[in-house]
Amino acid sequence: MKFSVSMKQVLVAVFRNRNLQVRAEPNKPNHNDFKCLDKAAIGEEEHGSKDPWKACTGRQVEEVKQLARMLPMWLTVIIYSVTLAQGGTFFVKQSSTMDKSLGPHFNIPPASTLAIVIIATLIAVSAYDRLLVPIAARITGTERGITILQRIGAGLVFIILAMVIAALVETKHLKIAQAHGLMDKPQAVPISVFWLALPNVVLGIVDAFALVGLQEFFYSQILDSMRSLGVASNLTANGIGSFVSSLFIHIVNNVTGKMGHRWLLDNLNTSRLNKFYWLLVVLNAFNLLAFIFIARRYKYKSLT
């Protein structure tokens, strides 16, 4: 049976059995999360119904519960994805307005700065597996060292750090542009593009924790019958994050434009990109708090 049909049956059965009471079973663990969904499985018990749209199996109910447990976690990925998208957009645009020379005869292509993220990710993943996990395993007494959610949470901390560094680098960029009278001129500012290596390296660490952790979470925590949905959930969250990023930039420009000066212009020397990064720091801080609140209450998958 396709999961989409099964989920619809559970929701319909919950509505049809809304006036029935769930009987407590003394020998069965009593989980308090999404107890309303348990009504989908009591139609057969109470009335001997064989209608799948009125009496669902306990496994069907647990599948929908597991999806409901993961949904809040999925929502926290969107802000993370919005922030991560800046590495491939504004970071590249920043590099085009900086000194890209590497020696007297070679200039670094702006987009190639993204290679720093990839290299940093590879190094960070190796360091995580070979250094952090053994050390954490000795401390916690578990084979994994830290849980999946702790790994994701660490990534969300590092993405805040990445935006703090990016804001400080852009502030330095604007000060140098002002000192050289380039605030209103769309030309390169005499500040090395390698300053952007700092936030890019941290973004690589973010990928080693949050990106890998999210892939593992959505794959391992989804039930076997929904594995393809778990993989799609992670990709969908990243895709929505990229879309929301464009919408978010449009909203920020409209709001700041009404305040007198748009933050994000074609000429970054005139923009206030540093303020935009600080805004992302604040949003990610709230997102981290929401993630911690959800993670502390999350119940790991019990079915196999």
What average pLDDT does range 158-164 have in this prediction? 95
Which amino acid is located at 229 in the chain? Answer: L
Q: What per-residue confidence (pLDDT) applies to 140? A: 82
The answer to whether the beta carbons of residues 169 and 199 sit under 8 Å apart is yes
Closest C-alpha to 156, from 285, 274, 275, 277: 285
Closest C-alpha to 152, from 286, 292, 282: 292
How do residues 66-120 score in pLDDT, each as one tens digit?
778 888 888 888 888 888 888 778 888 888 888 877 767 777 887 787 888 899 9
Q: How confident is the model at residue 225 (pLDDT cuts 50, 70, 90)?
A: low
Q: What per-residue confidence (pLDDT) applies to 32? A: 59
Backbone angles phi and psi of 112, in degrees to 5: -70, -15
In the chain, the percentage of residues whose pLDDT exceeds 90 is: 21
What average pLDDT does range 220-230 have in this prediction? 71
In the chain, the percentage of residues whose pLDDT exceeds 70 is: 85
What domains sit in the chain, N to C, each tagged with a CATH number?
A: 3-56 (no CATH), 68-297 (1.20.1250.20)
How far from chain centre, in Å, is Cα 208? 13
The answer to whether the beta carbons of residues 12 and 238 sit under 8 Å apart is no
pLDDT at 52 over 50: yes
Q: What per-residue confidence (pLDDT) applies to 43? A: 60
Question: How is residue 42 written in tokens?
Answer: 């009591």
Query: Is the entire prediction scored with pTM above 0.95?
Result: no
DSSP state of 98: E
Q: How confident is the model at residue 1 (pLDDT cuts 50, 70, 90)?
A: very low
SS3 303: coil
Higher pLDDT, 41 or 176: 176
Most confident residue range from 32-36, 119-123, 143-147 = 119-123
pLDDT at 186 over 80: no
Q: What per-residue confidence (pLDDT) applies to 101? A: 79
How do residues 34-47 score in pLDDT, each as one tens digit?
777 777 777 655 55
What average pLDDT does range 172-199 have in this prediction? 81
Q: What per-residue confidence (pLDDT) applies to 47? A: 53
